[in-house]
């Protein structure tokens, strides 16, 4: 068990902690499966999984005793058996990451008080160590290489779905190990859809093409967005792109350890404050990233997060005009005491693609 989680449990007076959020399970144990739970109780560490993964978990997870929960009637029964005799006053659980069924199991089988806790492991995850930073750098490098390749495939007549598939291939071919991480590839008026699904729409001359994508390296993720034009950009496209480029530059300049995340949101508005496009911006302009694509800290008008050194975050200002189109630029940065380091290296200038 890491010293950080031990210290957190001591500080919060936690005798026993049931962890069900899969990214938190991986962060604490190193175990990569989608079916696993952790039970941390008075220095003892248990990893609960089903028979399909017991051998792999035993071989690859150090410091945890692997438990096949199917040897019991349920996960709740397994937890009850493991804590019997511990004379606990309470068992803490992750209130935002537990199913109704599993909560009912615990409530039925366990005699001690069930105490909800929120964000405890997520707070630890938000500050990256040297190994995590190295993995995130690698993920960004993979994304940059894939982006450089996909530009060659953008042409009149290719569909969003086809372009998305090619981008996914380049990411995997360059070494991405991300699972279930689909890219967003949109064109024309559909670029106003913040998280649209690639369609069979064919790309046309003059279209904006928005690509929001990322790679994984040893489970750690990158997230980058670029908007390009097929052919010569119109005056309106250039105007919108220049505003968003300046918005992101202002955000980058605002980031530093000790700065409130909402101040970086405020910085994102400066470039569009006196323009007709401000009403088309979106409040969610950035987020932390690591094992999950969206994690603490979050950047928005109501954020209560504050940047600390070794946060890794994305900055993604955008303008989205319904039925017309949108522009987004997104980069991944490492927060330092002096400012931030941009980890995604792809060009941020407007790219006009000629066939």
Residue 1 has pLDDT above 60, yes or no: no
The percent of residues in the chain predicted with pLDDT above 90, rounded, is 89
Q: Is the pLDDT of residue 159 over 60?
A: yes
What span, in angstroms and rounded, lies between the C-alpha atoms of 105 and 80? 10
Q: What angle do CA 209, 341, 7 make, to 5 degrees?
A: 115
Strands (E), 42-190: 44-49, 65-68, 90-94, 113-117, 184-187
pLDDT in tens, 297-329: 999 999 999 999 999 999 999 999 999 999 999
User: Of 254, 243, 245, 255, nearest to 313 (Cα)?
Assistant: 255
* Over residues 285-291, mean pLDDT: 98
Report d(CA 252, CA 225) in Å as an integer: 15
- In this model, does residue 99 exceed pLDDT 80? yes
pLDDT in tens, 13-63: 999 999 999 999 999 999 988 789 999 998 899 999 998 989 888 888 888
Residues facing 321 on adjacent strands: 325
Residue 355 has pLDDT above 80, yes or no: no
Asked if the model's pLDDT at residue 278 lies above 50, the reply is: yes
Of 97-106, 199-208, 240-249, give the lowest mean pLDDT range: 97-106
Where are the chain's structural domains? 3-125, 130-353
Task: Return the closest-CA partner of residue 184 out of 201, 167, 169.
Answer: 167
Query: Treating both helix axes as pointing N-terminal to C-terminal, what angle do 130-150 and 160-173 enclose, rounded to 10 degrees?
Result: 130
Task: Say what the pLDDT of residue 217 is.
Answer: 98
**Residue 263: pLDDT above 90?**
yes
- Taking the C-alpha atoms of residue 6 and residue 1, their distance in angstroms, rounded to an integer, is 7
Q: Is the pLDDT of residue 73 over 90?
A: no
> At residue 85, does pLDDT exceed 90?
no
Average pLDDT over residues 116-134: 96
Q: Which CATH superfamily is domain 3-125 in?
A: Creatinase/prolidase N-terminal domain (3.40.350.10)
Query: Between 60 and 341, whose confidence is greater?
Result: 341
In this predicted structure, the answer to whether residue 3 has a pLDDT above a threshold of 70 is: no
Q: Which fold has domain 130-353?
A: Creatine Amidinohydrolase (3.90.230)
Note the pLDDT of residue 53.
84
Separation CA 312–CA 293 (nearest Å): 11
Instruction: Report residue 184 as tokens.
Output: 């967003």
Q: Which residues contact 289 (CB under 8 A, 6 or more apart)?
A: 136, 221, 222, 223, 295, 312, 313, 314, 332
Place of tokens 């990256």: 128
CA distance 18 to 83: 11
């Amino acid at each position: 068990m890491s010293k950080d989680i031990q210290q957190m449990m001591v500080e919060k007076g936690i005798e026993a902690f049931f962890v069900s959020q899969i990214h938190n399970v991986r962060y604490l144990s190193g175990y990569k499966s989608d079916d696993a739970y952790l039970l941390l109780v008075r220095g003892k560490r248990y990893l609960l999984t089903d028979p399909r993964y017991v051998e792999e978990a035993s071989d690859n997870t150090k410091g945890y005793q692997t438990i096949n929960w199917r040897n019991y009637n349920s996960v709740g029964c397994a937890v009850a058996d493991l804590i019997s005799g511990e004379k606990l006053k309470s068992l803490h659980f992750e209130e935002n990451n537990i199913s109704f069924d599993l909560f009912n199991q615990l409530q039925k089988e366990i005699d001690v008080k069930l105490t909800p806790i929120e964000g405890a492991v997520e707070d630890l995850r938000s500050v990256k160590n040297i190994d995590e930073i190295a993995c995130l750098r690698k993920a960004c490098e993979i994304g940059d290489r894939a982006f450089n390749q996909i530009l060659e495939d953008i042409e009149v007549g290719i569909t969003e779905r086809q372009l998305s598939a090619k981008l996914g291939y380049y990411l995997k071919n360059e070494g991405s190990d991300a699972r279930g991480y689909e890219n967003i590839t949109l064109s024309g008026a559909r670029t106003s859809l913040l998280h649209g699904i690639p369609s069979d729409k064919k790309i046309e001359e003059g279209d904006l093409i928005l690509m929001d994508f990322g790679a994984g390296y040893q489970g750690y993720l990158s997230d980058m967005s670029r908007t390009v034009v097929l052919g010569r950009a119109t005056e309106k496209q250039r105007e919108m792109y220049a505003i968003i480029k300046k918005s992101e530059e202002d955000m980058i300049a605002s980031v530093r350890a000790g700065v409130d995340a909402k101040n970086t949101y405020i910085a994102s508005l400066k470039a569009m404050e006196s323009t007709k496009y401000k009403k088309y911006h979106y409040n969610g302009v950035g987020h932390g990233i690591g094992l999950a694509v969206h994690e603490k800290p979050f950047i928005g008008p109501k954020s209560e997060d504050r940047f600390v050194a070794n946060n890794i975050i994305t900055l993604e200002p955008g303008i989205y005009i319904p039925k017309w189109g949108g522009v987004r630029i997104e980069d991944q940065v490492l927060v330092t005491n002096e400012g931030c380091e941009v980890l995604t290296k792809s060009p941020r200038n407007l790219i006009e693609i000629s066939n």
